[in-house]
Amino acid sequence: MSVWCDALLSGIMRILFDNTTCDMTSTLVFDIETVPDINGLRILHELDASVSDWEVAEMAFQQRRQLNGSDFMPHHLQRVVAISCVLREGEHFKVWSLGEIDEEEGGLIQRFFDGIEKYTPQLVSWNGGGFDLPVLHYRGLIHGVQGARYWDMGEDDREFKWNNYINRYHLRHIDLMDLLALYTGRANAPLDELTRLMGFPGKQGMDGGQVWEAYQQGKLAEIRNYCETDVVNTYLVYLRFQLMRGILNRESYRKECALVRAELSRFDGAHWPPFLAAWTAV
């Protein structure tokens, strides 16, 4: 009887935690980069063209510092300039940034939700529940973006009542930072430090605090490259997490890491050789 119970419990756990049993045949890891919404700030503060973009931003930063000691802008005033993804589907591993380099914000966000509509993937992020997704919600609302599959909570697909993208504790979106901290902000870890401790490359080229300066200098390609390396770091943490929870065994984990290394070595882009060189984990 105990053997039967153990087998039943094991089966239940796989249903609850193995993404292959939830019609999630693909994994989409995502990350966004943002800058202050200068046009939005002009509207809210009734500023005309005589005030430069730099002056608008500095005024907003000063107001934020006076309010809470940080110049970090609220979510609805974060303009999305890059969305980078890792898509793992079947035998394929792909890393890319959505849209063209000069694509409008609304188009980038619509592409993200179109991908969810097409693949119904397992979403994976680092702080996606605290930052990336709320930003995409607000900015998508501003631009009239549609994302029916993402917002389904059981109205169209009954399975989404029990496992949807919106609920913090459901698994269609795993915010690794939030989950690993047991949903306690006091225990949050920085992605860069954690990945480097694990032998993964960590942040490459810049960090989030340098994106606004890079954007003002017209370095959109560099911002997208940085975002792509961040999203691969997140995928590597996800693989280690799948190893820890028993979804991957040692051999399947090793093979998946080898696949990522091999695919990255074939990708174009000056950001991949230093990324691979900094990857010391075996």
Nearest CA to 111 out of 122, 100, 121 is that of 100
Q: Give the pLDDT band (50/70/90) at residue 180.
A: very high
User: Quick check: is 3 in a domain?
Assistant: no
Q: Which CATH number does the domain housing residue 148 bear? A: 3.30.420.10
In a domain, 9, yes or no: no
Task: Give the count of beta carbons closer than 10 Å to the beta carbon of residue 117.
Answer: 14
Work out the average pLDDT over 70-84. Answer: 96
pLDDT in tens, 186-202: 999 999 999 999 999 99
> What pLDDT sits at residue 204?
84
Tell me whether residue 268 is exposed, middle or buried, using C-beta atoms within 10 angstroms of its C-beta: 0 to 12, 13 to 18, 19 or more: exposed
How far apart CA 195 and CA 203 sit, in angstroms, is 9
Q: Is residue 4 in a domain?
A: no
Q: Assess contact for 17 and 247: CB atoms under 8 A.
A: yes
- Tell me the whole-structure pTM to 2 decimals: 0.89
- Mean pLDDT (the chain, rounded): 90
Q: Give the model confidence (pLDDT) of 127-155 as tens digits.
A: 999 999 999 999 999 999 999 999 999 99
The answer to whether residue 110 is domain-embedded is: yes
Q: What is the three-class DSSP state of 42?
A: helix
Q: pLDDT at position 208, please?
A: 83
What is the domain extent for residue 97? Answer: 23-277
- What pLDDT is stored for residue 260 in this prediction? 97
Helix (H) or strand (E) holding 95: strand 92-97
Q: How many domains does the chain have?
A: 1
CA pseudo-torsion sign 179, 175, 211, 137: negative
In the predicted structure, residue 120 carries a pLDDT above the cut 80: yes
Please give the Cα distance from 238 to 167 (Å, whole number): 19
What is the per-residue pLDDT for 206? Answer: 84
Give the residue-averaged pLDDT of 157-171.
Answer: 94
pLDDT tens digits, residue range 30-63? 999 999 999 999 999 999 999 999 999 999 999 9
CA 175 – CA 181 distance, rounded (Å): 10
Contact predicate 37/77, CB 8 Å: yes
Structural domain includes residue 6: no
Report the alpha-carbon distance of residue 50 to residue 277 in Å, rounded.
47
> Which residue from 139, 178, 253, 254 is spatially nearest to 167, judged by alpha carbons?
178
Q: Which amino acid is at 150?
A: Y
Q: What is the pLDDT of residue 205?
A: 80
Contacts of residue 63, defined as CB under 8 A and 6 or more positions apart, other chains included, come to none
Max Cα distance, the chain (Å): 79
Cβ contact 206:225 at 8 Å? no
Rounded Cα distance, 19 and 277, in Å: 31
Instruction: Look at residue 10 in the predicted model and tell me its pLDDT.
Output: 38
